[in-house]
């Protein structure tokens, strides 16, 4: 189906109602109208084909057609904790993480961090997540957490814990990624994590892993790491 629209609210009297922005996108940009069939998703895992029954410029209503559309299961759940680079490169990281199937991104404050995103920046990134989900076919929105200090992120003893570092083990020696498991990956800032931060991670059960021979930028490292984790995971059947 060529067009997908975000509709987080449940139907009322059997009809889904798009918000004004999505309604304008459907009618003005996509040129859809009454009796056209599109796909709706709620960001929580539900998606369905739906037929347009009301098409005013700011208020579109649709009726579901057929059974819900199933989303393929992920091989594992990936959480990325990443320092935030300058400029718009974190936007690109977030967009591509959605496309890869990452479940959660946490902006990290490290000793060498130079950017601390707040407020309107996070709101804009969450809109990016919606748009990337529409494009990539995801029905469950990736979660973008509020910024968190590296120390507290490391202290949570959850899942398989990996920290990207040039001294880490190469890909063939990474820990096994079990099907359906949670994998958490730390990506440091432009200047890298300090020796003290890496040693703290080791002492808390994190495994340093090497992503590539060259030194990667933050956004490249995050996506290379996520792709490597997913490639190493056993598929869920």
Enumerate the domain spans of the chain. Answer: 4-65, 77-232
Taking the whole predicted model, whether its pTM rises above 0.75 is answered as yes
> For the chain, how many helices (H) and strands (E)?
6, 12
SS (H, E, C) 43-97: EECCEEEEEEEEEECCEEEEEEECCCCCCCCCCCEEEEEEECCCCCHHHHHHHHH
pLDDT recorded at residue 237 = 54
pLDDT at 87: 86
Among the four given CATH numbers 3.30.70.1170, 3.30.565.10, 1.10.3470.10, 3.40.1280.10, the one describing domain 77-232: 3.40.1280.10
Residue 64: burial class (beta carbons within 10 Å; 0-12, 13-18, 19+): middle
- The continuous run of DSSP H or E covering 111 comes out as none
- Tens place of pLDDT for every residue, the chain, 237 residues? 459 999 999 999 999 999 999 999 999 999 999 999 999 999 999 999 999 999 998 899 999 999 999 888 888 999 999 999 988 999 999 999 999 999 999 999 999 988 778 788 889 999 999 999 999 999 999 999 999 999 999 999 999 999 999 989 999 999 999 988 999 999 999 989 999 999 999 999 999 999 987 889 999 999 999 999 999 886 655
Cβ(209)–Cβ(47) under 8 Å?
A: no
Quote the pLDDT of residue 77: 96
Range 4-65 has CATH code 2.40.240.20: yes
């Amino acid at each position: 189906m060529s067009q997908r629209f975000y509709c987080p609210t449940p139907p009322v009297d059997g009809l889904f109602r798009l918000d004004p922005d999505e309604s304008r996108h459907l009618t003005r940009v996509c040129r859809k109208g009454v009796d056209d069939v599109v796909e709706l998703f709620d960001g929580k895992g539900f998606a369905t084909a739906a037929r347009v029954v009301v098409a005013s410029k700011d208020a579109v209503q649709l009726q579901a057609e057929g059974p819900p559309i199933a989303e393929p299961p992920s091989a594992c759940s990936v959480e990325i904790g990443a320092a935030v680079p300058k400029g718009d490169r974190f936007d690109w990281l977030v967009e591509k993480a959605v496309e890869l199937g990452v479940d959660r991104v946490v902006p990290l404050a490290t000793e060498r961090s130079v950017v601390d995103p707040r407020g309107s920046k996070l709101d804009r990134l969450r809109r990016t997540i919606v748009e990337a989900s529409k494009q990539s076919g995801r029905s469950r929105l990736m979660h973008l957490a509020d910024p968190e200090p590296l120390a507290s992120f490391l202290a949570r003893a959850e899942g398989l814990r990996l920290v990207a570092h040039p001294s880490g083990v190469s890909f063939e020696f990474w820990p096994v990624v079990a099907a359906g498991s949670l994998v958490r990956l730390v990506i440091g800032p432009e200047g890298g994590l300090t020796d003290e931060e890496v040693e703290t991670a080791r002492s808390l059960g994190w495994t340093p892993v090497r992503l590539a021979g060259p030194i990667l930028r933050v956004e490249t490292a995050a996506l290379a790491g996520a792709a490597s984790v997913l490639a190493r995971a056993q598929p869920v059947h």
